[in-house]
Structure 1
Amino acid sequence: MNISRSGRIGALCWVAAAPLFLVANLVTGLRWRDPTYSWATHNISDLGNAHCGIWDTSRPRYVCSPWHPLTNVATLTTAVLLAVGILLTWRILGRGGMVRAAQTLLLLAACGYALVALYPADVDENLHVLGAFLIMGLGNVGLLLAGFAPGTTPLGRWRRLTLTAGIIALAGTALFFAQQGVGIGVGGMERVAVLPYPLWTCCLGVLLAETPAPAPAPARVDHGVVVSE
């Protein structure tokens, strides 16, 4: 398989998305003071909340994120990188109903990142929850479907990686919505549900970026003149 210049750009977008998202989460969390931010106790969304106060009736906790704009801008940028990566690698990963269904759901998940960034939970909870559903619901189903792409397609070459990511993500989603932390806290379980998708695209982006570019067309001689094909 060869990869075009646009496909390589899409792959590099995928490579950048997960590190950007994770670093922004880490830096924003470090700015919390009272309380300090806990990846086991707090949700990812708490980092993007625009106001300070008690949040979430089902699991009440005090949320105050001074650097919430950083998280929201980084999450929106992550959405753009994921979406551009999907669109620019659309034809590269193969054809068929399973591949296209997976790509469509993963594109909707990228839109989910945009929604959660533009509408923090304490600003518009309904749109924020819709974004979370697109990420953890449709996106993780799309990730699992990508794992069943035919072995004859480029996407099917990385079936083990993709299936592993999809199964982990869906298991994390089920446990998160059941509010089961299983030793890592409910906040930790949310990360099990959310992170496989951007981490998978990062890995896939690296693999695609290392793929050779198409070889130049051989030249031919026409009446003593070298002509490129």
Structure 2
Amino acid sequence: MDLSRTARIGALCWIVAAPLFLAANVIVGLRWTRPPFSWAEHNISDLGNVSCGVWDTTRPRYVCSPWHDAMNASVLLTALLLAAGTVLTWRVAGSGRRVRAAQSLLLLAALGYALAAVFPADVDENAHVLGALLIMGLGNLGLLLAALAPHATTLGRLRALTLPMALIALAGTTLFFTQHGLGIGVGGMERVAVFPLPVWACCVGVAALRRPAPDHPRSAAEEGARQ
């Protein structure tokens, strides 16, 4: 795959998105003191809530995120990086309905990140939940479609990476929305549902940049000069 400069920038956007998002989860969570942030008990969204107090009638828990602005800014930047990566690598991903459908769903997932960042759960819960559905629902469905892309396409050649991550993410989504923690807590299950997509994008970006470019054929003039 001979990447153009545009596609290389897109691959770099995908590579940066996952470390940024994961680092924000860790760093902002560490700023919690009383009580400490728990990946098993608390949702990712709790890191972005702007006010302190008991939150969520289904699973009541105390939420107070001192660095909520940093979390929401990081999630918004993650959204922009995922969207830019998808758009800038649009052509090199391949062609066909499944590839285009997968790319479209990945763009909707990026929109979901943006909605979740701009509308924290305790500011506009409906918009925030819509963002979560776009990420965990349509985004993970996009991963599955990417795994089912034809083998001749770039996405299809990465099926061994994509399919397990898609199945894990979809299983995590189902268990999260049905409130089953399976020993890691409902908050932990949300991470199982959310983290695979940006991690997959990062891996795809690395694979794209590491793939050697093919040798360029010599022109007729060059061949004539060598003779």
Say yes or no: TM over 0.5: yes
Measure the CA separation in 2 of the matches of 1:6 and 1:216: 19
Aligned to 2:121: 121
Residue-pair matches, total: 225
Structure 2 SS opposite 1:54: strand
Runs of 4+ in 1 over 6 A off after TM superposition: none
Aligned-residue RMSD, C-alpha = 1.6
CA distance in 2, matches of 1:132, 1:221: 58
* 1:13-42 deviation digits (Å, cap 9, x = unpaired): 100000000111111000001110000000
- Amino acid paired to 2:99: V
Residue matched to 1:173: 173
| Alignment of structure 1 residues 1-229 onto 2, 5 Å | 1-213=1-213, 215=215, 218-221=218-221
SS at match of 1:221: helix
**How far off is 1:215 after superposition?**
4.9
How many angstroms does 1:218 deviate by?
Answer: 3.5
Q: Following TM superposition, by how much is the alpha carbon of 1:213 offset from its aligned partner in structure 2, in angstroms? A: 4.2
Give unmatched runs, 5+ long, in structure 1.
Answer: none
Higher helix share: 2
What stretches of structure 2 of length at least 5 have no aligned partner?
none
TM superposition shift of 1:211: 2.2
1:25 aligned counterpart, secondary structure: helix
Aligned-residue identity in percent: 66
* Aligned equivalents of 1:6, 1:86: Cα separation in 2: 11
Deviations 1:152-190 (A, max 9, x none): 111110101111111000000000001000010000000
Task: Kindly indicate whether the alpha-carbon contact (under 8 Å) linking 1:5 and 1:213 is maintained by their aligned counterparts in 2.
Answer: no
2 CA distance for matches of 1:183 and 1:122? Answer: 27
